[in-house]
Amino acid sequence: MTGTINTVRMRAAQETDVPAINDIYNEAVADQVATCDLSNVPVDERRDWLARQRHPYGVWVAVDSAGVEGWVGLFPYDSKPCFHRTATFATYVRRSARGKGVGRQLRAWMIDRAREHGFHTIVNRVWATNDASIALAKRFGFVEVGRMRELVDVDGTYVDCVFFQLVLEAGEDDDDWGVG
């Protein structure tokens, strides 16, 4: 890790955060190591995307005195009913805040929200070339459960995708699912 640890405050994303969320995401698009979007996402699409996020899922931002430094989203893994306690997620950090602990704080926050909301497991896929994301997954106890060779096509270069899973303790709040 380089630089100093950046302590941020976590909170639910708001509509006013959309420009910053979108800028951070589009930095990742330009970097071509973390997202399968190969061109920038327009801010209006991001605004609609945020409006569609509903409990028990959500989007949270990491904020410091400079503003939004990163965000994490917890999303449905699949729309089929049998996957209702499985979620996937995405974490993105502003370039200038990378390597300063923001991603780690976002990941910890997201795992806590997943537990609180009663998820049994969370999964994600990471480009095999994204060393920082792979290290972060392992740091939090995610286990590599698979690899698909040459799944991602970036300008004619093929990259493997690594699949990770973290099995969580059963959540306390079964009311999130209408159970109990």
Please give the average per-residue pLDDT across 14-32, as a whole number: 94
pLDDT tens digits for 63-105? 999 999 999 999 999 999 999 999 999 999 999 999 999 999 9
Domain assignments of the chain as residue spans, ordered by start: 9-171
- The least confident of 6-10, 108-112, 122-126, 170-174 is 170-174
**What's the whole-number mean pLDDT along residues 15-21?**
97
- The alpha helices in 15-156, defined as continuous H runs, are 18-31, 43-51, 102-116, 131-139
pTM attached to this predicted model: 0.87
How far apart, in whole angstroms, are the C-alpha atoms of residue 92 and residue 133?
A: 10
- The arithmetic mean of pLDDT across residues 12-41, rounded, is 91
Q: Give the least confident one: 30-34, 57-61, 113-117.
A: 30-34
- Say which CATH architecture domain 9-171 belongs to: 3-Layer(aba) Sandwich (3.40)
